[in-house]
Each structure stands twice: as C-alpha cells, then as structure tokens.
Chain A
C-alpha cells in the first residue's frame, strides 16, 4: 500500500536495529506509550530484531484498557434500557463490566450498535427521535476532537435525544504518574504520535526537563518505532533529556489548533480513574456545564453506579510496566481473549492480548527462544 510499505522496509529495519544494538551500551528501559505502538512491536516481531539491546515496557496508552470498570457498568446499564440505542466503537463491546459486557447485553435484547464515528451516532439519533441515543466517548486526545464535534453538532441541530457517556483521558498526566511512582523503571519514552497530531508536543517539554527523561514523539509503522527507539537511546547515551519529533510527517510542535479549540470548547479537565491504575489528577476530560444537556452521566443520573475492580486482575501492574503479561497468574488460564478478566486482554491494542494473540509466551513455540535474553521474551 502506498505510503505504508515504505515504512516496513526489511533492509532499513535491520539497519536501524543494528544501530540501536551498537549504540546502546546497556539495556535501557523504554516505554512506548501508545497501544498502537505495542501492537506494531509485538505483531512485527521488532523485539526480536533488537536481541535484548533495550527493554520495552508497554505503556497505558490503550483507551479501551484504561476505561474504568464503573464506566463500563454505566454503559451496560444504559444499553440495557429499552428506550436507549447505545452506540460505541467496536472494541468496547467485549470489555468485561462487573456482570457482563455490551456484547452480552446485545444478546439479551439491548440495542447496541457499532459505529465508526460519533457522527454516525448523531445520524442514528436523527433517524430515531423516539429513542435516546447514547455514544460512548472513549479515547485519548486523538478521538476527543471528533467526539467534541459531535456534541457541538447536536447542540447546533437541537438534537435533544442524543447524549455522550464521556470517558476521555489525556496522556501527559499518565506519563507523570508513571515517572513519579517510587517503583518507576522507565528511562525514556516513545510518545504517542497520533495524540501529538492534535496536541503538539509542548506539554512534554516540562516533563522531560522535570524528570530528566528523553521523550521522542513517534509514529506507528515499524521503521517509525525503530527510529524513535534509536533517537531515545542516542539521547540516553549522551546524557540528554530533550523532546524530539520522529513523526515529522504528521506532527507539528503546536499540533492542530482548530481541533484543540473544539475539544476545549466542549470538555474540561477533571480527575479521572484509570482502570488498573487508579485516580490520576487532571487526567480526564469531562463535559463542560454549557453542554450538560448532552452529558449522559447527568441525563441518566449514573453517578450512583460505582464498581470495584477484581483483585486477581493485575491489569494495573501490566499497564504501569511492573509486570509482563505472562507473569500474571491469570494470563492464559483464567484470562484469555475469549474470557478476558481485564481490558488489556480485550482490545487488539492491549498488551495482554498482543502477547496472547501473537504467541509471545508459549512454551515450545518458535518465538519462545528467538528473543533469548530479551526481557519481554525471556519468560517463555
């Protein structure tokens, strides 16, 4: 495919991997923030090319994975109401709530529809004036502008049967939470390229300075990721901690001003619970009072629905990079993509699902041995 195959060239990949191996004088610990990057690393076997030169910790950047349990329970509650058509991106459907997931609600007769854009949900609301149409607004800064735009449009068209269950989170506070934890092991970051297309990367500059960590804004194709890794390693070897932009073909320093304005108009910062991690101050987006009429949380009085996470799901440690998926006692036994206990096993971007689906752990699998010495493979 044009503009993609260029970023998957095997000779260039091998050459970048060799440069990383030659540059790294010790096994630096890097975190890729975004689940899309985790997906590429594990799916393309980039970890194998590095042969233990660096350790990659998979970050919390999977929006499906970090959506708190009680938001799922609220979604399940709404989807079960006979007057509601509940709309969501596809990968939220199998995320387990306390009792069941949205897929099971659908099997019991709930009106749950997969949409590809919040504007599709708006269209459904116009077509069904007798129903309440709720859209599940999940994601990082990347999806927030389109979701904000849907609310603005609903207000402009006077659509009162449309509302949004907001569960947006933002990346920089999560990076700070990881860096300020006493057990932090992360020495450098690949920042999430698509988030930065919207937000730019000025927010990362004080973080890099305060915690003395290099942060490289990185894309999602194999060569992007290898180049981002090399840039972080080069900074670490030189003792530097700057913000650099690997993903120049998509990201500008100031991001997308118009998109940010729309987000700011509709949403405001609020403390947000992250599944498996806990409360991170100022890390979530919530609807501004001016748009309260489209806020499903208020409209359906959902504040009473609260939940506690199961104790035997170690998603939090996985999401904070303290545990590899296959070190979790539930991994592959009680917790599989068929019957996930935690969200990282559900989304294709989740670290647990990536390890499970691409067989990065199986005893006897050919992959179990290829990464000998490489921490993320070494347990097989």
Chain B
C-alpha cells in the first residue's frame, strides 16, 4: 500500500483548493489510476478508512516498521504497462526499479524483493522469458535478490498480457531518514535528471501519435544517486521522491501538502529534453505531469544545494541534474511556477489523466 503510485501523500487537503465534492463515480474510471486527485480520492475514501494505522498515515513512498529492534522499510508496487516491452526497458526491469526506488526514497537500500506475476493465457513464453531475464539483470545490477514469488494465469481477455507486483524490504539507518514531512523553508528543490521520458516513450510506443520519435524510457534504479547525495551532503537530505505516475507536479504537490510548506519553481530551469518537449507540444500535454521512472526529486538545505548538484552530475543518471526551485513559508500547500515570460501560475494536481488536446 505504501508506494508512490498510490499517492498517499496527496491525501491531506491541498491547502487552499476548494473542497472536492464527494465522488459521484459509481464505477472505477481510468482516471482513478492516474496518480492525480482521483487516485488520491479513491484511496482516501475507499481504502484508507479500512486500514487506518500510524504507519500508513505517514503517507510516504514506503512504510517504516520496527521488527526485532531493526527498522525495516517495506514497499510494494504493481506494474501494468502496454506495450510490455518499450524503448528503454520493459515491464520486468520497471517492476524491479520501481520498488528499489520506493525504498531508496526512504533512504534505504532494497535488499530483497518478492515478485507476483499475473499472466494472461496466450502470452508467448519467449516474451515472458525475456522479461524475467530482464528482471534478473536489473536486480543483479543493484545487488538485490528476488527471494519469493508467485504466478497466476488468467483466461485470455481477462488480463493485459502480464501484470507484475514487486514487494521489497530494506534496512533503515535511522541517521538517514528523508521524509516528505521534513521539507523546510529555504530548502533547494533539485531534480536528478531530465523529465518526461518514460511517459512519452510509452505513449509513443502505444499510440499512433502520427510522428516518429526516438524518446526512450528513463527506467533506472536510483539508489546510486541516493548514496551520492547522502555522502555529498553529510546526510543532510530532507526529502526524496521519485516522481512516477502524475509526474514532478504531483510529487511536489504531495510534499507541499504533507509538510505544509509552499514551493516556488523556475520554469526556464526545468530539464525537459527537446524531443519530450516537442512531443508534448504536439499533443497538448504538460511534461510536469508525465511519468518518470529514473529521476528523483531531492530537497536539501540551501547550503548543500551546490555540493548535492555536483555530486549528482558525476553519475551518468545525474548529468542533467538541475536546481528547479525552493521551499517558502508563504502559500503552504501550493506549488507556484515563475513562468518563462516572468508571470506566475499555480502548478496543481490534475484530477485524472492528461487528455490530449484537439488542436
């Protein structure tokens, strides 16, 4: 439950927005899975009330539980993506990276994973083989072992080829425990890399968008970047988040909401690759809401901003790292953007999926 994709951090009311009316949806719509307000509402109204406990209420990427004197980080995530194999990765590597990253965002290295497969009748075994091999390679590269698993097969037409769940555990060092609750006025907001690649790569692979693009997914394990940040700042990392579903905008809104701080972003500083920008402009999408799978948001005290950025940039995943804004005391719960032309706008969470515009 305590994964980034459930967007628990957005459960708190977002500052000054108007009260959202009680959902009139009598059925689940796709927008409930978008990582935006509808996802948060689904969780807040239909799931959270039944599972109330202190750990869940922290609204973090992973849960921290104490077992036998040790503090353990626990996180789970379920992956549904079409196509199963896409430019830059596949559902297997994505499932391994996703849970490693959720645990990394709590400051811990994932040690072990479990995996559950829901396989649709008719899936070519050669495809399954490739995906499992890719999972094994992704886990091996991060020195993570996959220690338990389960397979289920559903009738043709009852699944989308393959769904994968991964659950992971890691050991928390209490001396290093970044948390959305620790965002503080004056913190610099850093992004470890260019945004929008995963979501646009999937969209380009899935949809006939009418133009060719070379965008590849950024799927990657972020633990190496977390280690670099920790040592460069001597542990002074207040918040870590991987802005997956819902993009950077939703992740920052969640942090602002949980920590009751405000944020000011600088639009020209956002690292958006030219091909992602071009595809987004064509389709009328905002890259700030597009999913990433190999980028992290870090909030560090201003004094450590430069060393943190320098450290990120030493790693291949961090070459495009940028400082995109800072945390302020004003407008708690709101994320505000200084625009290209010098105006301002509020960067809110979206209700559901971004919908491509007509013209």
Task: Show the binding face of A for B, using Cβ within 8 Å.
Answer: 1-2, 4, 8-10, 13-14, 36, 42-49, 63-64, 89-94, 103-104, 106-108, 114-117, 120, 123, 138-140, 142-143, 194, 222-223, 332-334, 336-339, 347-349, 356-360, 362-367, 370
Query: When A4-B281, A339-B24 are in contact, do A44 and B359 touch as well, CB less than 8 Å?
Result: no
A contact residues around B186 at 8 Å (CB): none
Residues of A within 8 A of B274 (CB): 1-2
- Provide the residues of chain B in CB contact with A104, threshold 8 Å: 25, 27, 29
B345 and A44 form a contact (CB under 8 A):
yes
- Asked if B271 is at the interface (CB within 8 A of a chain A CB), the reply is no
Q: Least Cβ distance of B74 to chain A in Å?
A: 31
Is B210 close to A, CB under 8 A?
yes
Contacting B21 at CB < 8 Å: which of A4, A89, A334, A365?
Answer: A334
Please name the residue on chain B nearest to A62 by beta carbon.
B358
Lowest 10 A-B CB distances belong to which pairs? Answer: A45-B343, A359-B346, A90-B355, A13-B341, A332-B18, A90-B356, A358-B345, A338-B351, A8-B340, A1-B277
Given contacts A107-B28, A359-B334, contact A123 B341 (CB under 8 A): no
Contact of B340 among A44, A94, A364 (CB under 8 A): A44
Q: Are A45 and B342 in touch, CB under 8 angstroms? A: yes
A44→B358 contact, CB < 8 A: no
Most chain B CB neighbours (cut-off 10 Å) among A46, A349, A365: A365
Interface segment, one of B30-38, B93-101, B188-196, B226-234? B30-38
Main secondary structure of the interface of B (DSSP, over half): loop
The 8 Å CB contact of B331, one of A89, A138, A348, A366, is A366
Q: Hey, which chain B residues are within 8 Å of A370, CB to CB?
A: 344
11 contacts between A and B (CB under 8 A): A44-B339, A45-B345, A63-B359, A90-B356, A94-B31, A94-B355, A115-B208, A348-B357, A357-B350, A366-B334, A367-B336
B278 within 8 A of A: yes
Chain A residue numbers with a CB within 8 Å of B18 are 332-333, 336
CB under 8 Å from chain A, chain B span 311-359: 330-331, 334, 336, 339-346, 348, 350-352, 354-359
Query: A44-B340, A116-B207 given. 12 additional CB < 8 A pairs?
Result: A1-B274, A14-B341, A64-B358, A94-B352, A103-B30, A104-B27, A139-B359, A337-B351, A338-B351, A357-B346, A359-B336, A370-B344
> Do A107 and B344 have beta carbons less than 8 Å apart?
no
Let me know if A338 and B37 touch, CB within 8 A: yes
Q: Tell me the minimal C-beta distance from B152 to chain A in angstroms.
A: 24
* A contact residues around B351 at 8 Å (CB): 336-338
- Return the chain A residue nearest B264 by Cβ: A366
Closest chain B residue to A357, Cβ basis = B348
Q: Is the CB of A338 within 8 A of B334?
A: no
Chain B interfacial positions (CB closer than 8 Å to A): 16-21, 23-25, 27-31, 37-38, 41, 207-210, 268, 274, 277-278, 281, 283-284, 330-331, 334, 336, 339-346, 348, 350-352, 354-359
Contact of A1 with B281 at beta-carbon distance under 8 Å, contacts A36-B359, A359-B334 already known: yes
A367 to B37, CA, bound (A): 22
Pairwise interchain contact B359-A143, C-beta atoms closer than 8 A: yes
Query: In the complex, are the beta carbons of A103 and B209 less than 8 A apart?
Result: no
A117 touches B208 (CB 8 A): yes
In the bound complex, CA of A332 to CA of B20 (Å) = 8
A349 lies within 8 A of B357 (CB): yes
Among B17, B25, B344, point to the contact of A48 (Cβ < 8 A): B344
Bound-state CA distance A55–B205 (Å) is 44
**In the complex, residue of chain B having the shortest beta-carbon distance to the beta carbon of A348:** B357
CA distance A347 to B355 in the complex (A): 8
Kindly state the separation between the CA atoms of A364 and B332 in the bound complex, as whole angstroms. 10
Q: Are A91's CB and B355's CB within 8 A? A: yes
How far apart sit A13 and B268, CA to CA, in the bound complex (Å)? 14
Residue of A nearest to B31 (CB): A103
A64 CA / B267 CA spacing, docked (Å):
28
Contact with A46, one of B29, B283, B343 (Cβ below 8 angstroms): B343
Contact B358–A42 (Cβ < 8 Å): no
Residues of chain A within 8 A (CB-CB) of B346 are 357-359, 362, 365, 367
**B1 nearest CB across to chain A (Å):** 23
Alpha-carbon distance between A140 and B359 when the two chains are bound, in angstroms:
9
Q: Contact check, B340 vs A63: say whether CB atoms are below 8 A apart.
A: no
CA distance A8 to B336 in the complex (A): 19
Q: Is the CB of A222 within 8 A of B27?
A: no
- A262 vs B284: C-alpha distance when bound (angstroms): 26
For A44, A94, A360, which residue has the most chain B Cβ atoms within 10 angstroms?
A44
Q: Which residues of B have CB within 8 Å of A107?
A: 27-30
| Bound CA–CA A222/B345 (angstroms) | 14
Contacting residues, chain B, for A36 (C-beta < 8 A)? 359
What is the chain A residue whose CB lies nearest that of B209? A116
A343 to chain B, nearest CB (A): 12
Contact assessment for B344 and A366 in the assembled complex, using a CB-CB cutoff below 8 Å? yes
| Contact of B331 with A365 in the complex, beta carbons under 8 Å | yes
Measured between beta carbons, the chain B residues less than 8 angstroms from A360 are: 345
| CB-CB under 8 A for A338 and B29, given A36-B359, A116-B283, A143-B358 | no
B352 touching A364 by the CB < 8 A rule? no
Contact A120 B343, beta carbon cutoff 8 Å: no
Contact present for B341 and A89 (CB under 8 Å): no
A366 and B336 contact, Cβ closer than 8 Å, known pairs A104-B27, A116-B283, A357-B348: yes
Contacts of A114 in B (CB 8 A): 207, 355-356
Q: CB-CB < 8 A to A140: which residues of B? A: 359
Which chain B residues border A364 with CB–CB below 8 Å? 16, 331
A44 touches B341 (CB 8 A): yes
Report the bound CA distance from A139 to B357 in whole Å.
11
- Chain B residues within an 8 Å CB radius of A142: 359
How far apart sit A264 and B232, CA to CA, in the bound complex (Å)?
66
A43 to B341, CA, bound (A): 10
Q: Are B341 and A8 in contact (CB under 8 A)?
A: yes
CA distance A355 to B207 in the complex (A): 30
Contact A13-B20, Cβ < 8 Å, known A103-B30, A107-B29, A142-B359: no
Q: Which residues of B contact A362 (CB under 8 A)?
A: 16-17, 334, 346
Asked if B208 contacts A123 (CB within 8 A), the reply is: yes
A139 and B358 in contact, given A42-B345, A367-B336 (Cβ under 8 angstroms):
yes
Q: Are B359 and A194 in contact (CB under 8 A)?
A: yes
Residue of A nearest to B268 (CB): A10
- Assuming the contacts A45-B339, A94-B352, A347-B357, asked whether A336 and B21 have C-beta atoms less than 8 A apart, the reply is yes
Q: How far is the CA of A334 from the CA of B20 in the complex (A)?
A: 9
- How far, in angstroms, from A339 to B24 measured CA to CA in the complex? 8
Bound Cα distance from A292 to B44, whole angstroms: 50
Among B20, B23, B283, B341, point to the contact of A45 (Cβ < 8 A).
B341
A8 CA to B24 CA, complexed, in Å: 41
Nearest CB on A from B270, distance (A): 12
Nearest residue, chain A, Cβ from B276: A1
* A354 closest partner in B (C-beta): B345
